[in-house]
Amino acid sequence: MSIIAIIGPPAIGKTLLCSRISAYLDLALIHESEELPSRIIDNINRDLNFLETQVWFHNQMVHNIENALNIVQGGESVIMDTYWGSLEIYTISECLDEFHLKILLELSAYNRRFLPQPDLIIGLTCDEQKLASFFEVRGANYEKSPKAFRRALKLKDEHERFYLENPDIKVISTDNYDFNKDEDIIAFVNRAGIIADR
């Protein structure tokens, strides 16, 4: 039984991909958050209350990892679109306040010390044009700010830097995949080396 995490910048297809792989291989599924509270959406769109927003996402991530561990202990594998390493990229790359950054770095240090690593981490990447098309299709209500796509590009670069620093991450470009096609899901699963429990 294993924990599989798929990570990457916003709108790259993590949630759809996890859902499709979960259905194809009959794996338990955990999404980062099914629905964001309106206050968090407002914070993101208006660049408000950065620390509050990051702590909310952090707490969601801890709950999700706890759920993943319970699933694995119950004898099933689980696939998820969250993991503390990826959240750390989102948090630290966007923090402009020194005091807030100190708090968030302490949280990250605790995560590294006490939270488990997934058994398989798949890092998604794509070219800028593909990310733009994903972004347009998704049209999330927390990405209405004009800065949202620029932020996504920055996070794409930060994730790619993180992948280089962590060679255990299996990096896969989504440029040639359409996650709505069964044959592309099968090809992705084979390339990533994801194995069904049964």
Q: Are strands 170-173 and 28-30 parallel, antiparallel or unpaired?
A: unpaired
Tokens of 82: 């969250």
Alpha helices in the chain (DSSP H): 14-25, 38-46, 50-73, 84-94, 98-114, 128-138, 148-165, 182-192
In terms of Cα–Cα distance, which of 180, 158, 160, 157 is closest to 172?
Answer: 160
**102 within 8 A of 27, measured Cβ to Cβ:** no
How far, in Å, CA of 56 to CA of 148, rounded?
A: 19
Task: Count CA atoms within 13 Å of residue 27 on its CB side.
Answer: 27
Domains annotated for the chain, with CATH where assigned, are 3-192 (3.40.50.300)
- The pLDDT, as a whole number, for residue 82 is 85
**15 within 8 A of 35, measured Cβ to Cβ:** no
Tokens of 140: 């999330």
For 45-96, the pLDDT digits (tens) are 888 999 999 999 999 999 999 999 999 999 999 999 988 888 899 888 888 8
Task: Count CA atoms within 13 Å of residue 115 on its CB side.
Answer: 25
Give the Å distances, CA to CA, from 197 to 43, 120, 150, 154, 158. Answer: 40, 14, 39, 36, 33
Instruction: Please tell me the pTM assigned to this model.
Output: 0.91
Share of the chain above pLDDT 90, in %: 69
Model confidence at 31: pLDDT above 80: yes
**156 within 8 A of 125, measured Cβ to Cβ:** yes
